[in-house]
Amino acid sequence: MLAKSDGNHRYELLKNKKHARQLETLEEPQEAVRGFVGRVGPSDLRMETPVLQDVYDPTATDPTIDGLLVSLETLPGAKAIDTIRAQNGLKPLTTYVIDPVSNQLTLAQLDQLNLKISSTQIRAWLDSH
């Protein structure tokens, strides 16, 4: 699932992001994900990239979704999704937490959340260059 823009219209959940003009259209990350999965993933992997209209759907309501990739920052959202899934009689998702990307060499020794490179920082840099 990719939370990006819907064609030429900025996706509702992202409209208030800082440096929003740097956000990609939906098609750009879709193509990048397809290319990556095509190189490293199983050939029979089913991949869908719907436009997200809500912070919880479709992950909170779709019984065919069984996993979620999140950051440390968004882990509370994954737990909230599992709470809603339980209320809907659905099994919890397998949650995969990825570490933040940092431009520091001593990431293991320092607070990761303070070192992360956020998408907002990337868009700010793009705006200034």
Torsion of CA 57, 66, 37, 53, to 10 degrees: 0
Q: Where are the beta strands (DSSP E) in 43-101?
A: 67-71, 94-98
Q: Which pLDDT belongs to residue 87?
A: 96
The DSSP H or E segment spanning 28 is helix 27-40
Q: What is the pLDDT of residue 111?
A: 54
What is the distance between the alpha carbons of residues 5 and 128, in angstroms, rounded to a whole number? 22
- CA dist 45 and 98 (Å) reads 21
Render each residue's pLDDT in the chain as its tens digit; 129 residues.
444 444 444 456 677 778 877 777 778 878 888 888 888 888 787 777 666 667 788 889 999 999 988 888 889 999 999 999 999 999 999 999 887 665 554 545 555 555 566 777 777 877 887
- CA–CA distance, 40 with 49 (Å, rounded to integer): 18
Contacts for 27-30: CB closer than 8 Å, 24+ residues apart = 28/4, 29/2, 29/4, 30/2, 30/4
pLDDT value, residue 91: 96
pLDDT on residue 9: 44
Q: What is the pLDDT of residue 76?
A: 92
**According to the model, what pLDDT value does residue 13 have?**
66
pLDDT at 24: 77
Residue 78's pLDDT is 94
Phi, psi dihedral angles at 2 (to 5 degrees): -120, 125
**What gap in Å lies between CA 4 and CA 24, rounded to an integer?**
7
What pLDDT, on a 0 to 100 scale, did the predictor assign at position 10? 47
